[in-house]
Amino acid sequence: MANHIAVIPGDGIGREITDAAVKVLKKTADIYHFELTFETKEAGGTAYDQCGVPLPEDTVEAAKQADAVLFGAVGGDKWDHVTPKLRPEQAVLGLRKALGLYVNLRPVSVPAVLSEYSPLKPDIVTGTDILIVRELVGGIYFGDRCESEIHNGVERAWDLENYSVPEVQRITKFAMEAAQKRRGHVTSVDKSNVLATSRLWRRTVIDVAKQYPDIRLDHLYVDNCAMQLALNPKQFDVIVTSNLFGDILSDEAAVLGGSIGMMPSASIGEQTSLYEPIHGSAPDIAGQGIANPCATILSAAMLLRYSLKQDAAAGAIERAVDKALAEGWRTPDLYKDGFKKANTATMTDAVLRHIQ
């Protein structure tokens, strides 16, 4: 039976990179003898322009019905002045909520071939292999907020962060079980020296960890974690953290591998899972055909592994990306003298040639 994928390209480079990933999925399915069907749906600023909302109901329905969702990116300067509830970013936030995607996995690995691209020294970054487990449907992203009010005669705005014990329990369990399949080490990141939500987070993590005596658990404040990621990234195995801290730390960690254009993610929860690069719509390079498609191609590999249980095909895509890089192909975000200049299409072709 065919597996059905909802493709949501979104805005900016979203279309270019999801096109690339769909080509890779089609070729991989042919070689590994399974059937995929695709359906494209709008979201983000493009959807807002077409129908006045960033997340049309039929996009949500298609995502719920699909076996997996491949998502590009949303947003752009053009929509920066749209009323907050209709901003393009509401599309990805709305999908995460509608699909109950409480886990966001952001793997950060630095193959030797990319270590020279990091602004950090190669010996610091080579061999880094971190899994960031970001809570995705709670915290300050989904708390009450006020865009503007007058308080004591001055204008102010506020965003409320709250976390419940069950929300922290389920993400912690996921992180512990992920660590059991890796190197057995979990670092929980919070700001419990200041924030009440972080204090509840830390004591809940400690409590859940009692069920996992095989896991080495430690805790870092988020400011120190940001520094440790740059000082000694190899100390980390699994990092579990809140929605906001995970967002910020994963962009920082992306630099270890030289470019955010290499960083995939998987969002997992109660229904269909969603796969997307961690980067945005890159308005500065959109439409030029030069975006690095690898983050989305590697997100498609995660889709095959987690949603369709096609481990061999997923591995084939990951190896093909490694081989294309080893052959010297580089999109502008990673290009240096002496390498082969690639754009989105030629980088994708190089990956396609190596799928076997």
Query: 295 is in the binding site of which of ligand NAD, ligand IPM, Mn ion, none (Cβ under 5 to 8 A by kind)?
Result: ligand NAD
Does residue 94 touch ligand NAD according to CB under 6 A?
Answer: no
Helix axes 243-254, 222-231, angle to 10 degrees: 20
Cα angle 245-184-233, degrees, rounded to a multiple of 5: 50
Nearer to Mn ion, 237 or 247 (CB): 247
* Residues recognised as catalytic: 141, 191, 223, 247, 251
Segment near ligand NAD (CB under 6 A), from 60-68, 136-144, 170-178, 290-298? 290-298
Nearer to ligand NAD, 92 or 324 (CB): 92
28/328 Cα distance (integer angstroms) = 22
Nearer to ligand NAD, 238 or 286 (CB): 286
Asked if 296 and 278 count as a contact pair (C-beta separation under 8 A), the reply is no
Residues forming beta bridges with residue 71, ordered by sequence position: 8
Q: Shortest distance, CB of residue 2 to ligand NAD, whole angstroms?
A: 27
SS (H, E, C) the chain: CCEEEEEEEECCCHHHHHHHHHHHHHHHHHHHCCCEEEEECCCCHHHHHHHCCCCCHHHHHHHHHCCEEEEEECCCHHHCCCCHHHCCHHHHHHHHHHCCCCEEEEEEECCHHHHHHCCCCHHHHCCCEEEEEEECCCHHHCCCEEEEEEECCEEEEEECCCCCHHHHHHHHHHHHHHHHCCCCEEEEEECCCCCHHHHHHHHHHHHHHCCCCCCEEEEEEHHHHHHHHHHCHHHCCEEEECHHHHHHHHHHHHHHHCCHHHCCCEEECCCCCEECCCCCCCCCCCCCCCCCCHHHHHHHHHHHHHCCCCHHHHHHHHHHHHHHHHCCEECCCCCCCCCEECCHHHHHHHHHHHCC
Q: Shortest distance, CB of residue 333 to ligand NAD, whole angstroms?
A: 4
Site string for ligand NAD, 248-277 (x = CB under 6 A): ------------xx--------------x-
**C-alpha R_g of the chain:** 20
Using CB under 6 A, which of 6, 278, 300, 324 touches ligand IPM?
Answer: 278
Query: 93 is in the binding site of which of Mn ion, ligand IPM, ligand NAD, none (Cβ under 5 to 8 A by kind)?
Result: ligand IPM
Does residue 247 touch ligand IPM according to CB under 6 A?
Answer: yes
Does residue 93 touch ligand IPM according to CB under 6 A?
Answer: yes
Segment near ligand IPM (CB under 6 A), from 63-71, 88-96, 147-155, 326-334? 88-96
Does residue 89 touch ligand IPM according to CB under 6 A?
Answer: yes
Site string for ligand IPM, 124-163 (x = CB under 6 A): ----------------------------------------
153/151 Cα distance (integer angstroms) = 5
Site string for ligand IPM, 45-84 (x = CB under 6 A): ------------------------------x---------
Count of residues in the chain:
356
Nearer to ligand IPM, 18 or 126 (CB): 18
Using CB under 6 A, which of 143, 283, 319, 343 touches ligand NAD?
Answer: 283
Does residue 89 touch ligand NAD according to CB under 6 A?
Answer: yes
Does residue 282 touch ligand NAD according to CB under 6 A?
Answer: yes
Using CB under 5 A, which of 247, 259, 314, 351 touches Mn ion?
Answer: 247
In the complex, the residues that contact Mn ion under the rule CB under 5 A are: 247
In the complex, the residues that contact ligand NAD under the rule CB under 6 A are: 10, 13, 73-76, 89, 92, 260-261, 276, 279-285, 291-292, 295, 333
In the complex, the residues that contact ligand IPM under the rule CB under 6 A are: 75, 89, 92-93, 247, 278, 280
